[in-house]
């Protein structure tokens, strides 16, 4: 999807729609016109504009983009009638013509059912501690139906009216985080069977923070499953946040380096520094060895979260690289020396960066090639598109 020439305008359109809806919600909230649920302003309508469907249906996305252009021109024509008196009637006649001529998209594609939490943002910062908390809650509340691996084959699954979906596939990335939160807390209903409940809601048992932790855990777990099954991260996954100590300075959060590339090295072996990346040594929870690394993280939750995402019980020796936006992009398997752009696990289909005439010289080393490709292909379709 990233590779198509449409990618740029589509990314812009989807981001614009999401931003406009969010601003509308904020404005309503500022005017006191909307209630709060689960700690954030509630979306007051039963429907919302869907960026995620536009990603799938390019024809409708194009229609919507053109319709927005037509509507904008119509609005401009209306505005002009106020200032420009003589051609007023021509301008006024133009408005309905434009509105009729616009290639309106199909409403069932562009508008999808919303929940009051559709625009809620997760407050967890995708912290390792939240992922670890989610893991415990998942074992306690969800395994019976969804199965330990999230594939929907828990012991109770066969007895349900609707089979639980595969949570290790792209499903979670096609949903707004807030909709996931809502469904965990309030359950799901089957629209085809007269609104019969299909999954119970957990609002009586779990709080908001716990439901957000479950969302984090399910994503980390899904990323690890993909890596094991496909050898890549087809859905973008963030670098979990964790506390890091550098020298004698007070601990700071990993997210505070956003804007720089970060490399996590799991284990006790101190890696050589590289000026192109912030390097953090992630030590095993029980490690008592002294270390000379500049920056160190050593919480058990951080180790657990990255083991999940890397889909392995043997994390020691693994290296992970996150881009400037905080997305995990590359993995170096244990024992592997040197990098190549093949290590990029979250990538688009676009051809590798072309080093044509007049362009900068190709980077001499594998890590340089990897970084060049990572920078040239940022993760897109995040705002409102949910997947890239």
Taking the complex as a whole, the smallest distance from the CB of residue 308 to ligand HEC amounts, in Å, to: 15
Instruction: Indicate the residue among 27 and 191 with the shorter CB distance to ligand HEC.
Output: 191
**Which residues, in sequence order, are CB contacts of 384 under 8 Å at separation 6+?**
14, 15, 17, 18, 19, 21, 51, 52
Choose the stretch contacting ligand HEC; rule: CB under 6 A; options: 71-79, 197-205, 286-294, 295-303.
197-205
> Is 168 within 8 Å of 226 (Cβ atoms)?
yes
Classify residue 290 as exposed, middle or buried by CB count within 10 Å of its CB (0-12, 13-18, 19+). exposed
Is residue 165 near ligand HEC by the rule CB under 6 A? Answer: yes
Classify residue 367 as exposed, middle or buried by CB count within 10 Å of its CB (0-12, 13-18, 19+). buried
Pick from 59, 96, 200, 251 the residue near ligand HEC by CB under 6 A. 200
Taking the complex as a whole, the smallest distance from the CB of residue 210 to ligand HEC amounts, in Å, to: 8
Task: Draw the binding track, 113-152, toward ligand HEC (x: CB under 6 A; -: no contact).
Answer: ----------------------------xx-xxx------
Is residue 180 near ligand HEC by the rule CB under 6 A? Answer: yes
Choose the stretch contacting ligand HEC; rule: CB under 6 A; options: 114-122, 161-169, 230-238, 252-260.
161-169
Is residue 184 near ligand HEC by the rule CB under 6 A? Answer: yes
Residues 213-242 that bind ligand HEC (CB under 6 A): 214
Instruction: Indicate the residue among 187 and 352 with the shorter CB distance to ligand HEC.
Output: 187
> Is 315 within 8 Å of 303 (Cβ atoms)?
yes
Is residue 176 near ligand HEC by the rule CB under 6 A? Answer: no
Instruction: Calculate the alpha carbon distances from 309 to 96, 132, 328, 341, 356 in Å.
Output: 53, 12, 10, 20, 36
> Is 183 within 8 Å of 198 (Cβ atoms)?
no
Taking the complex as a whole, the smallest distance from the CB of residue 190 to ligand HEC amounts, in Å, to: 5
Task: Draw the binding track, 296-335, toward ligand HEC (x: CB under 6 A; -: no contact).
Answer: ----------------------------------------
**Which residues, in sequence order, are CB contacts of 107 under 8 Å at separation 6+?**
none
Cα distance between residue 360 and residue 328, in whole Å: 26
* Among candidate residues 360, 358, 307, the one with its CA nearest the CA of residue 334: 307
Which positions lie near ligand HEC, rule CB under 6 A? 141-142, 144-146, 156, 160, 162, 164-165, 167, 175, 179-180, 183-184, 188, 190, 198-200, 202, 214
């Amino acid at each position: 999807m990233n590779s198509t020439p449409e990618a740029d305008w589509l990314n812009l359109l989807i981001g614009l729609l999401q931003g406009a809806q969010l601003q509308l919600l904020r404005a309503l909230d500022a005017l006191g016109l909307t209630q709060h649920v689960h700690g954030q302003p509630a979306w007051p309508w039963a429907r919302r504009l869907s960026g995620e469907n536009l990603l799938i249906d390019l024809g409708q996305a194009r229609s919507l983009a053109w319709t927005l252009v037509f509507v904008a021109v119509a609005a401009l024509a209306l505005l002009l009638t106020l200032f420009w008196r003589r051609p007023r009637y021509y301008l006024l006649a133009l408005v309905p013509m434009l509105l009729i001529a616009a290639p309106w998209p199909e409403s069932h594609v562009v508008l999808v059912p919303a929940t009051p939490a559709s625009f809620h943002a997760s407050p967890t910062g995708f912290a390792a501690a939240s992922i670890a908390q989610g893991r415990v809650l998942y074992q306690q509340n969800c395994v019976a139906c969804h199965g330990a691996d999230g594939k929907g084959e828990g012991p109770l699954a066969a007895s349900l009216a609707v089979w639980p979906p595969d949570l290790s596939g792209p499903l979670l990335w096609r949903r707004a985080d807030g909709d996931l939160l809502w469904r965990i807390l309030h359950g799901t209903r089957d629209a085809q069977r007269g609104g019969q409940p299909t999954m119970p809601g957990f609002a009586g048992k779990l709080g908001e923070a716990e439901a957000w932790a479950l969302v984090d855990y399910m994503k980390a777990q899904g990323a690890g499953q993909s890596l094991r099954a496909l050898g890549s991260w087809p859905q973008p996954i963030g670098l979990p946040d964790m506390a890091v100590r550098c020298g004698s300075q007070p601990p700071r959060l990993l997210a505070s380096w956003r804007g720089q590339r970060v490399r996590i090295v799991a284990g006790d072996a101190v890696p050589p520094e590289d000026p192109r990346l912030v390097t953090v040594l992630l030590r095993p929870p029980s490690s008592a060895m002294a270390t000379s690394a500049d920056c160190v993280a050593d919480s058990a939750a951080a180790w657990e979260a990255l083991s999940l995402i890397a889909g392995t019980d043997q994390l020691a020796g693994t290296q992970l690289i996150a881009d400037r936006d905080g997305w995990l992009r590359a993995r170096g398997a244990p024992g592997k020396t040197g990098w190549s752009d093949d290590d990029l696990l979250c990538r688009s289909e676009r051809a590798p960066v072309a080093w044509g005439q007049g362009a900068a010289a190709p980077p001499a080393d594998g890590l340089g090639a990897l970084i060049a490709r990572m920078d040239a292909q940022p993760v897109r379709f995040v705002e409102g598109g949910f997947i890239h």
